[in-house]
Amino acid sequence: MTTEEEQDTKTRVDIVIVGGKYLGGPVGLLAANLAVRYGLSVRIVDIESEPQHWGRGDWIHGRTLELLDYNGLATDLLATGARVEAFSHHHQQVSSSVSYAPEHVVSKYKHLLCVGQHITESSLQHTLSEHDVQVERPWTVSQFQKDASDSEYPLSVTLKNMLDGSTHDIRAKYLLGCDGAHSDIRKQLDIAYEGESSKKNHGVLDALVHTSFHDRKSISFIKGPFGTHACMFPRENNLVRVMVQLSDEGDRNQIHLETVQHEARRALLPHRVEFTAVMWWTIYSVGQRIATHYTSSQQDPRIFLCGDACHSQSPTLGQGLNTGLGDVLNLLWKIAMVESGHAKASLLNTYEMERRPVAQQVIGLDKQIVQEVESKEQENLEKLLRQYQLFISGFGINYGHGDNGVLIQTGDRAPDFKVVHYATGAKVRLYDTWRKQVQDSNMGWGFHLLVLAHDITQSMDAVIKGFKDFTVPSWMHVHIITTTVQRGVIEKHLSQQQDINPEWMYMDKINQAQCHHGLIPEYDNSDKNDPVAIVIRPDLHIGWIGDFSKLSLGFIA
3-state secondary structure 235-287: CHHHCEEEEEECCCCCCHHHCCHHHHHHHHHHHHCCCCEEEEEEEEEEEEEEE
Res 116 pLDDT > 80:
yes
DSSP states along 44-102 = EEESSSS---S-S--EE-HHHHHHHHHTT--HHHHHHSEEE-EEEEEETTEEEEEESS-
**Lowest-confidence region among 9-13, 53-57, 160-164, 395-399:** 53-57
Q: How far apart are the first and last CA of the chain?
A: 35
Q: How confident is the model at residue 407 (pLDDT cuts 50, 70, 90)?
A: low
The residues that bridge with 284 in the sheet, in sequence order, are 202
**Lowest-confidence region among 142-156, 404-418, 537-551:** 404-418
Q: Are 91 and 378 in contact (CB under 8 A)?
A: yes
> For the segment 159-198, what is each residue's pLDDT rounded down to a tens digit?
999 999 999 999 999 999 999 999 999 999 999 999 988 7
* Torsion over CA: 218, 355, 199, 19 (sign): positive
> For the segment 433-443, what is each residue's pLDDT rounded down to a tens digit?
999 999 888 78
Per-residue model confidence (pLDDT) at position 200? 83
d(CA 497, CA 398): 38
Res 557 pLDDT > 70:
no
What's the chain's length in residues?
557
The superfamily in CATH containing domain 4-52+64-81+110-192+288-362 is: FAD/NAD(P)-binding domain (3.50.50.60)
Q: Which of 90-104, 236-250, 311-325 is modeled with the greatest confidence? A: 311-325
Amino acid at 186: R
> For the segment 480-528, what is each residue's pLDDT rounded down to a tens digit?
999 888 889 989 888 888 788 999 999 987 666 666 666 665 545 456 6
Mean pLDDT of 4-32: 80
Q: Are 178 and 309 in contact (CB under 8 A)?
A: yes
Mean pLDDT of 326-341: 97
d(CA 421, CA 410): 26
The superfamily in CATH containing domain 412-556 is: Phenol hydroxylase, C-terminal dimerisation domain (3.40.30.20)
d(CA 484, CA 453): 9
Mean pLDDT of 307-316: 94
> For the segment 274-311, what is each residue's pLDDT rounded down to a tens digit?
999 999 999 988 889 999 999 998 778 999 999 999 99
d(CA 145, CA 47): 20
CB-based contacts of 241, cutoff 8 Å, min separation 6: 58, 114, 204, 205, 206, 232, 233, 235
Q: CA separation (Å) from 414 to 94, 200, 321? A: 38, 40, 22
CA angle 286/241/197 to nearest 5° reads 5
Domain boundaries, the chain: 4-52+64-81+110-192+288-362, 412-556
Strands 59-60 and 112-114: antiparallel
Higher-scoring residue by pLDDT: 227, 215? 215
d(CA 8, CA 20): 25
Higher-scoring residue by pLDDT: 2, 161? 161
Per-residue model confidence (pLDDT) at position 165? 94
Res 72 pLDDT > 50:
yes
Res 157 pLDDT > 90:
yes
Q: How confident is the model at residue 373 (pLDDT cuts 50, 70, 90)?
A: confident
Res 144 pLDDT > 90:
yes
d(CA 27, CA 307): 6
* Torsion over CA: 375, 378, 384, 385 (sign): positive
d(CA 169, CA 160): 9
Helix (H, G, I), strand (E, B) or coil at 311: strand
* Torsion over CA: 208, 212, 213, 215 (sign): positive
d(CA 227, CA 220): 16
Mean pLDDT of 237-260: 87
Q: How confident is the model at residue 92 (pLDDT cuts 50, 70, 90)?
A: confident
Per-residue model confidence (pLDDT) at position 183? 95
DSSP states along 102-117 = -TT---S--SEEE--H
Q: What is the mean pLDDT of the chain?
A: 90
Q: Of 30, 48, 14, 53, give the one whose Cα is nearest residue 128.
A: 30
Per-residue model confidence (pLDDT) at position 23? 52
Higher-scoring residue by pLDDT: 93, 212? 212
DSSP 8-state code for residue 340:
T
Q: How confident is the model at residue 403 (pLDDT cuts 50, 70, 90)?
A: very low
Res 402 pLDDT > 50:
no
* Torsion over CA: 432, 389, 22, 81 (sign): negative
**Lowest-confidence region among 187-191, 245-249, 401-405, 499-503:** 401-405
Res 316 pLDDT > 50:
yes
Percent of the chain with pLDDT over 90: 71
Percent of the chain with pLDDT over 70: 91
